């Protein structure tokens, strides 16, 4: 009996330790922050690899690739976190480049070491911009999908509120990088005729957590308007975050990276040291 009691006590202790560890890993701000960064870096790298290899094959074959899928969790990554993750990828790239150069040539040959460093800086800028573009693409596709669903639903309703909401979605489509999920006005009209209001509410309830809305959308005007007001605010915030990251991308894609590559190549060719 004593041995059995000790075994049960040990088993309970192990179970308690496991449960406390699980709670700590799920609720610790530090651990959660690390998980977000690891997730965002993974999304960026997989997106760049997919574009580099699969995208080139698709372009070569001549298939019109449809890029309307997105990861809702990638859309929720903040601008600050996105820029930090892109910078980490850039620094890892620079480290790998310099490690390769030093491993093959050592540190004494400045005619190789300096060009390697300058070319590495140029490539890093491009990697950082490409990583940010992966996240902004998820944002664009998410905004395109939600503006389409909300627009189609609003067009089925009558009243001043819904008329103004239709205008709001059309103003969002005026953004140069946000477009309807269907891709064209003709396709959008076909969608409007096929989807019922009930199916749209069901779809919005299924995906409402994507826009940080955690209340069930009920079949009454008050509930619908509350959701639409929240969704519109979320769209505006996501658009602003997208534009902030796009501004960073544009700055990274200016002449500076070309200068690094050009100067590094010239030093490598002329061998002045």
> What does the DSSP assignment read for 37-100?
HHHHHHHHHHHHHHIIIIIHHHHHHT---------HHHHHS-HHHHHHHHHHHHHHHHHHHHHH
Confidence of residue 3 (pLDDT cuts 50, 70, 90): very low
What's the mean pLDDT in 91-118?
89
* CA pseudo-torsion sign 47, 53, 54, 60: positive
What's the mean pLDDT in 199-210?
91
Domain boundaries, the chain: 5-270
Average pLDDT, the chain: 82
Tokens of 98: 């310099």
CB atoms within 10 A of CB 32: 12
**CA–CA gap between residue 111 and residue 54 (Å, rounded):** 36
More confident of the two residues 15 and 202:
202
- Predicted TM-score (pTM) of this structure: 0.81
Residue 6 — left, alpha, or beta (φ > 0 → left; ψ -120 to 50 → alpha)? alpha
What's the mean pLDDT in 181-210?
76
Q: Is the pLDDT of residue 266 over 50?
A: yes
Confidence of residue 245 (pLDDT cuts 50, 70, 90): very high
The region of weakest confidence among 12-21, 86-95, 143-152, 228-237 is 12-21
**Local structure of 25: helix, strand or coil:** helix
Q: Is the pLDDT of residue 62 over 50?
A: no
Confidence of residue 17 (pLDDT cuts 50, 70, 90): low
Model pLDDT, residue 139: 95
Task: Cite the beta strand spans of 179-240 per DSSP E.
Answer: none
More confident of the two residues 176 and 58:
176
**Local structure of 225: helix, strand or coil:** helix
């Amino acid at each position: 009996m004593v041995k059995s009691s000790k075994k049960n006590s040990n088993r309970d202790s192990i179970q308690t330790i496991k449960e406390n560890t699980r709670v700590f890993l799920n609720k610790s701000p530090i651990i959660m922050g690390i998980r977000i960064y690891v997730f965002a870096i993974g999304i960026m790298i997989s997106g760049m690899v997919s574009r580099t290899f699969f995208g080139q094959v698709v372009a070569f074959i001549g298939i019109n690739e449809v890029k309307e899928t997105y990861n809702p969790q990638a859309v929720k990554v903040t601008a600050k976190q996105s820029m930090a993750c892109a910078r980490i990828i850039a620094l890892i790239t620079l480290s790998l480049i310099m490690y390769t150069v030093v491993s093959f040539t050592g540190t004494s040959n400045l005619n190789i070491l300096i060009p390697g460093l300058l070319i590495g800086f140029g490539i890093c800028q491009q990697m950082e911009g490409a990583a940010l573009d992966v996240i902004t693409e998820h944002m664009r596709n998410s905004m395109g999908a939600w503006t389409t669903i909300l627009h189609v639903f609003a067009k089925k309703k009558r009243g001043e509120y819904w008329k103004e909401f239709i205008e709001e979605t059309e103003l969002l489509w005026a953004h140069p990088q946000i477009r309807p999920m269907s891709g064209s006005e003709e396709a959008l009209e076909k969608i409007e005729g096929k989807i019922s209001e009930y199916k749209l509410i069901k779809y919005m309830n299924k995906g409402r957590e994507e826009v940080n809305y955690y209340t069930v959308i009920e079949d009454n005007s008050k509930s619908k308007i509350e959701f639409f007001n929240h969704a519109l605010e979320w769209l505006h915030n996501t658009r602003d975050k997208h534009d902030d990251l796009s501004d960073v991308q544009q700055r990274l894609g200016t002449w500076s990276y070309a200068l690094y590559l050009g100067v590094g190549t010239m030093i490598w060719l002329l061998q002045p040291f």
